């Protein structure tokens, strides 16, 4: 968000994440996004939390590993809605912040974005590598400065399950939602 503002790009945030579970985690992430958007006066569109549709589409993929077919479905669903909104509201370009995470497969995300934009001849998906040019380090720097909520799993109930299984297997506590924030002295 900061990088695009610094480049003089006018944009709108479209928050559509029906994958995030439970509701408390969804609200926390959304509120953090709104807080930052308001700080810079960036328009924020709060789309539906239609998690029933997300669970419907995830059927049969409950045990798919992260970066597998369930994630492709999850990205497709969110980009499809984003592209539809962009089409109906006259936005010629869409992109996503998803790829900044080092846990994500950038190609998988970009393929989904391109596929969604291809439904509308006037639209393009902007494939930009947000990790490059110090982007990843900058993300951590801003997170500490803003004391952002620090999500500890990707988002869906299955990623929460799998992260907790891994934590228990490695002798760590289960995730407690809503407690961890980036601290300036925290080197994570």
- Quote the CA–CA distance of 60 and 79 in Å, as a whole number: 21
Out of 16, 18, 19, 82, the only residue in the binding site for ligand SF4 (CB under 6 A) is 19
Cα–Cα distance for residue pair 132/124, rounded to 1 Å: 21
Question: Which residue of 25, 74, 81, 143 would you call a contact of ligand SF4, by CB under 6 A?
Answer: 74
- The end-to-end CA distance of the chain, in Å, is 21
155 binds ligand SF4 (CB under 6 A): yes
Q: Which of 71, 83, 112, 117 binds ligand SF4 (CB under 6 A)?
A: 71
**For residue 42, how many C-alpha atoms fall within 13 Å in the half-sphere facing its CB?**
23
Binding to ligand SF4 by residue 112, rule CB under 6 A?
A: no
Q: Are 143 and 180 in contact (CB under 8 A)?
A: no
| 70 lines the binding site for ligand SF4 (CB under 6 A) | yes
Nearest distance from C-beta of residue 59 to ligand SF4, angstroms: 12
Size of the site for ligand SF4 (CB under 6 A): 10
How far is the CA of 164 from the CAs of 28, 104, 109, in angstroms? 19, 19, 24
Binding site for ligand SF4 (CB under 6 A): 19, 66, 70-71, 74, 154-156, 158-159
């Amino acid at each position: 968000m900061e990088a695009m503002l610094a480049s003089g790009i006018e944009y709108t945030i479209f928050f559509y994440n029906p994958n995030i579970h439970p509701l408390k985690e969804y609200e926390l992430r959304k509120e953090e996004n709104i807080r930052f958007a308001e700080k810079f006066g960036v328009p924020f569109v709060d789309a539906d939390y239609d998690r029933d549709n997300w669970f419907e589409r995830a059927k049969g993929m409950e045990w798919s590993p992260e970066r597998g077919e369930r994630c492709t479905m999850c990205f497709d669903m969110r980009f499809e809605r984003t592209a539809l909104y962009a089409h109906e509201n006259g936005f010629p370009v869409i992109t996503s912040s998803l790829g900044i995470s080092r846990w994500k497969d950038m190609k998988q995300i970009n393929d989904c974005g391109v596929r969604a934009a291809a439904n509308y001849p006037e639209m393009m998906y902007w494939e930009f590598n947000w990790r490059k040019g110090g982007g990843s380090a900058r993300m951590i720097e801003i997170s500490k400065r803003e004391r952002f909520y620090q999500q500890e799993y990707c988002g869906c109930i299955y990623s929460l399950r799998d992260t907790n299984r891994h934590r228990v297997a490695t002798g760590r506590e289960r995730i407690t939602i809503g407690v961890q924030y980036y601290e300036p002295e925290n080197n994570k």
